[in-house]
Amino acid sequence: MSIPSYWRSRQQRLALAGEVCPNCEAKLFPPRDICPHCGGPAKTRFDFCGRGTVYSFSRVNAAPAGFEAYAPYVVALVALEEGPLVTAQLTDIAPEDVYIGMPVEMVTRQMRREGEEGLVHYSYKFRPVMERVQG
Ligand SMILES: [Zn+2]
């Protein structure tokens, strides 16, 4: 099974949870509880839409041990529609097809479950937004 079809079959739509500052309304991701813009407390949850554009990117040809099957891949800085920049791996695209300004959307999957309490870890990646086919 190819990696893209694996992702398509396993992906789940989950919120990209951050925070919003009640004072200056800055959107924060990842959540940090203190607004970097005004220094005030920011603990109000805000769900990002998960869409954005590629702000910058780099191709990774040598993957860490255990992830060799995924190389080469692209790690991008994604500018979310709401403003914050998120670093994440891109998926469902050939590394040579990535470009600055490319529209992307978040996909997530469960990574692993830990212990009896079932603490679940999620990982998110971004994939190209599918272009509408005309006609
Ligand atoms: Zn603020």
Q: Is 134 among the domain residues?
A: no
- Kindly indicate the confidence band of residue 132, based on its pLDDT and cuts at 50, 70 and 90: low
Question: Pick the residue with more confidence: 118 or 74?
Answer: 74
Kind plus residue range of the DSSP H or E element containing 9 = helix 3-10
How many domains does the chain fold into? 1
Task: State the residue range of the domain holding 46.
Answer: 3-128
CA–centroid distance, residue 46 to ligand 1 (Å): 14
Q: Is 60 among the domain residues?
A: yes
Q: Is 135 among the domain residues?
A: no
Please check the confidence at residue 108 and state whether its pLDDT lies above 60.
Answer: yes
Q: Is 71 among the domain residues?
A: yes
Share of the chain above pLDDT 90, in %: 46
CA–centroid distance, residue 27 to ligand 1 (Å): 8
Structure tokens at 49: 């839409």
CA–centroid distance, residue 52 to ligand 1 (Å): 22
Q: Is 40 among the domain residues?
A: yes
State the DSSP code for 6.
H
Q: Would you call the peptide bond into 22 cis, given omega within 30 degrees of 0 as the criterion?
A: no
pLDDT value of residue 37: 93
pLDDT value of residue 10: 38
Q: What does pTM read for this prediction? A: 0.71
Q: What are phi and psi of 98, to 5 degrees?
A: -80, 140
pLDDT, one tens digit per residue, over 6-23 is: 444 333 345 688 899 999
Please check the confidence at residue 134 and state whether its pLDDT lies above 70.
Answer: no
- Kindly indicate the confidence band of residue 126, based on its pLDDT and cuts at 50, 70 and 90: very high
pLDDT, one tens digit per residue, over 33-79 is: 999 999 999 999 998 889 999 999 999 887 777 777 777 889 999 99
pLDDT value of residue 112: 60
pLDDT value of residue 14: 57
Q: Would you call the peptide bond into 95 cis, given omega within 30 degrees of 0 as the criterion?
A: no
CA–centroid distance, residue 66 to ligand 1 (Å): 40
